[in-house]
Amino acid sequence: MTHYKLTLAYDGTNFAGYQVQPKQRTVQGVLEKALAKMTKGIPVHVDGSGRTDSGVHALGQVISFEYPGDIPAPSMLRAMNSLMPLDIEILQAEIVPEDFHARFSAKGKRYLYRVARGRYTDPFNRLYTGHYPYPLDVSRIELALQDLIGTHDFTSFAASGGVIVDKVRTIYEATVVEKPEQNDLVFEFYGNGFLYNMVRILVATSLEIGNGRRDVHDFIRLFEVKDRQQARGTAPASGLYLKEVYY
């Protein structure tokens, strides 16, 4: 048995998310099917660094698995890419120590969120951005994002119904950059972990701050109230990218 770590990019549009679900096309399902083809039927279980929802993209998702055989990493990369559909690309393959686990070994993650600002949805970006046609004062968002840095209770920013009790997370970086050529706004969040829907809720709240519908320091109030109803909005899945996982 050999232990592999693979880094991959995918367009989440036509997947029912990362995690295997019966009768649905999922990223994990496609990966495990390809591996079973390589092993001539021996099932291989793939661990991902975390789930991504339907429509959410990845620029650097990480998976790990134990493979019944000993293939050099470059051959694993080639073989897996030859079995991938056009919406998944394997970027890197490495042989790693047995105790490496894509999820449990992860120390941090970086997410990116693209917001298209045109009046109408751009047909060519509708699957790859969230759309916000209202006026924005980006300097207000920049100011607000500074309040996220550090260790906070993100109860107000987690989709309800989750099983995770500890909602304290540490954010190392939270930035927004204007890309005037594309009329885009790009958010990046780097932290030790993220709750379900957390990035999409943070983006929706940031946009309301930028639009003036919330106080610039509303994040501080939201940390204190610990109430999901107060943050409300969730930015669409199409703008979200899992950019990098840190080990």
Query: How many residues make up the chain in this entry?
Result: 247
| 25 contacts a copy of itself (rule: CB under 8 A) | no
How many residues touch a copy of itself under the rule CB under 8 A: the total is 16
C-beta of 112 vs 222, nearer to a copy of itself: 112
User: Rounded CA gap, 16 and 52, in Å?
Assistant: 9
On whether the CB atoms of residues 201 and 155 are closer than 8 A, the answer is no
Among residues 5, 6, 7, 10, which is the contact residue for a copy of itself, using CB under 8 A? 10
On whether the CB atoms of residues 116 and 150 are closer than 8 A, the answer is no
C-beta of 133 vs 150, nearer to a copy of itself: 133
CB of residue 104 to a copy of itself, shortest distance in Å: 27
Of 6-14, 95-103, 157-165, 219-227, the window that binds a copy of itself (rule: CB under 8 A) is 6-14
| 181 contacts a copy of itself (rule: CB under 8 A) | no
Tokens of 173: 């970086």
User: Rounded CA gap, 62 and 49, in Å?
Assistant: 6
Among residues 29, 32, 52, 57, which is the contact residue for a copy of itself, using CB under 8 A? 57
- Catalytic positions, written as ranges: 53
| Binding-site annotation: residue ranges for substrate | 111
CB of residue 210 to a copy of itself, shortest distance in Å: 23
User: Rounded CA gap, 231 and 154, in Å?
Assistant: 11
Bin 13: left if φ > 0, else alpha if -120 < ψ < 50, else beta. alpha
Residues within window 64-103 making contact with a copy of itself, judged by CB under 8 A? 81, 86-89
User: Rounded CA gap, 133 and 155, in Å?
Assistant: 28
User: Rounded CA gap, 29 and 20, in Å?
Assistant: 5
| 11 contacts a copy of itself (rule: CB under 8 A) | yes
Residues within window 100-159 making contact with a copy of itself, judged by CB under 8 A? 120-124, 126, 128
C-beta of 89 vs 94, nearer to a copy of itself: 89
C-beta of 22 vs 120, nearer to a copy of itself: 120
| Alpha helices by DSSP H, the chain | 27-38, 73-83, 138-146, 198-210, 218-225, 228-231
Q: Point out which residues bind a copy of itself (CB under 8 A).
A: 9-11, 57, 81, 86-89, 120-124, 126, 128
